[in-house]
Amino acid sequence: MSEVSPRLLRSSARMSYDPEVDLDWDAPLVDGLWFMQPERLSLYGTALWDAMSQEQRLELSRHEVASIASVGVWFEIVLMQLMARELYGADPVTDRTHYALTELGDECRHSVMFGKAIARCGVPAYGPVPRVRRLGWVFKSIAHGPGAYASILVAEELLDRWQREPMKDERVQPLIRMVSRVHVLEEARHMTFAREEVARSVPALSRPALAWHRNVAAQSAYMVGRALVNPEVYAAVGLDPREARRQALGNPHYRETLAWMGERVVAFLDEQGMIGAADRPLWRRSLLVPA
Ligand SMILES: [Fe+2]
Ligand SMILES: [Fe+2]
């Protein structure tokens, strides 16, 4: 059924990483380097940022990258369940099934890699706030088809955009650069697969089903866009989390960053008819589209 699966399987065989052996976990962290690009930090350019010391800013980058990575793990655990559920009863002889199983394997290794990286940074795996965690539990239990694949694509494309910068930024810790590079290389296949799933399944939807799947995609965009930075990261560097969250969400730099992260996936989903008029306000509130 799928045209892309044989190609993606060949690419997986050629280029896959094992975090246990392909990354140097004993390499020391480098004093004075950022854990992510400062310009993409949620507080960059705010009054709070101006008042912070350089050490505090570097420390914020350590906690903020761990928050993003742990939200990444949370979403990977969600999408592994979506894909495993969808594979229940799938024909085990097809390339599509083989590729979907291979992708599940990739995500297992990614979650191990992110977990090890967070541990190496010596900070908590913040994950999303409890309310989003509860919503994610419902989402992973009911989402399916194009709504599920559109949501997977949103999370993957946001991280892809964001990770392409640190992987080549020499101001950033080598460990974070390497983790970013591995993830970008392997996620390219996942995004191709999710795009194909959306493009293939949307035209077959009835009008009510299309409205449902569009709404699922918009809800997850809203959830993921705002979940990346857990406000506890601010408390960890001595800031008032409520005030810092308020300044981050109103920060034109950060809003621009989120819209930049969402740019490609929003354009794709719009082109595929997955963004309807009824859901545009929700998409705007996700901050993944320009205000
Ligand atoms: Fe991944
Ligand atoms: Fe992925």
pLDDT tens, position by position, 117-166 = 999 999 999 999 999 999 999 999 999 999 999 999 999 999 999 999 99
Q: What is the pLDDT of residue 184?
A: 97
Mean pLDDT for 249-276 is: 97
pTM (whole model) above 0.85: yes
Q: What is the pLDDT of residue 291?
A: 75
Computed over every residue of the chain, the mean pLDDT equals 96
Q: How far is the CA of 279 from the centre of ligand 2 (A)?
A: 25
Mean pLDDT for 167-189 is: 96
Q: How far is the CA of 181 from the centre of ligand 2 (A)?
A: 14
Q: How far is the CA of 238 from the centre of ligand 1 (A)?
A: 31
Q: How far is the CA of 175 from the centre of ligand 1 (A)?
A: 17
Q: How far is the CA of 190 from the centre of ligand 2 (A)?
A: 5
> Rounded to the nearest 10 degrees, how much is the dihedral formed by the CA atoms of 181, 183, 186, 188?
-90
Q: How far is the CA of 56 from the centre of ligand 2 (A)?
A: 32
User: HSE on the CB side for 31, CA within 13 Å?
Assistant: 0
How many other C-beta atoms can be found within 10 angstroms of the C-beta atom of residue 252? Answer: 10
Q: What is the pLDDT of residue 67?
A: 98
The dihedral through the CA atoms of 252, 254, 260, 262 has a sign that is negative
Q: What is the pLDDT of residue 3?
A: 80
Q: Quote the CA–CA distance of 231 and 241 in Å, as a whole number.
A: 5
Q: How far is the CA of 253 from the centre of ligand 1 (A)?
A: 26
Report every protein residue that has its C-beta within 5 angstroms of ion ligand 1: 110
Q: How far is the CA of 185 from the centre of ligand 2 (A)?
A: 10
Q: How far is the CA of 132 from the centre of ligand 2 (A)?
A: 20
Question: Cβ distance 244 to 43 under 8 Å?
Answer: yes
Q: How far is the CA of 278 from the centre of ligand 1 (A)?
A: 30
What is each CA distance from 126 to 69, 227, 228, 244, 252, in whole angstroms?
9, 10, 10, 16, 24
Which listed ligand is nearest to 72 at the C-alpha?
A: 1
Q: What angle do CA 126, 74, 82 make, to 5 degrees?
A: 170
Q: How far is the CA of 42 from the centre of ligand 2 (A)?
A: 24
Q: Quote the CA–CA distance of 199 and 154 in Å, as a whole number.
A: 14
Q: How far is the CA of 243 from the centre of ligand 2 (A)?
A: 33
Q: What band does 2 get if pLDDT is binned at 50, 70 and 90?
A: low
What is each CA distance from 149 to 2, 16, 105, 199, in whole angstroms?
15, 22, 17, 10
Percent of the chain scoring above 70 in pLDDT: 99
Which listed ligand is nearest to 110 at the C-alpha?
A: 1
Q: How far is the CA of 76 from the centre of ligand 1 (A)?
A: 6
Q: How far is the CA of 46 from the centre of ligand 1 (A)?
A: 31
Q: What band does 21 get if pLDDT is binned at 50, 70 and 90?
A: confident
Q: Is the pLDDT of residue 1 over 60?
A: no
User: HSE on the CB side for 157, CA within 13 Å?
Assistant: 26
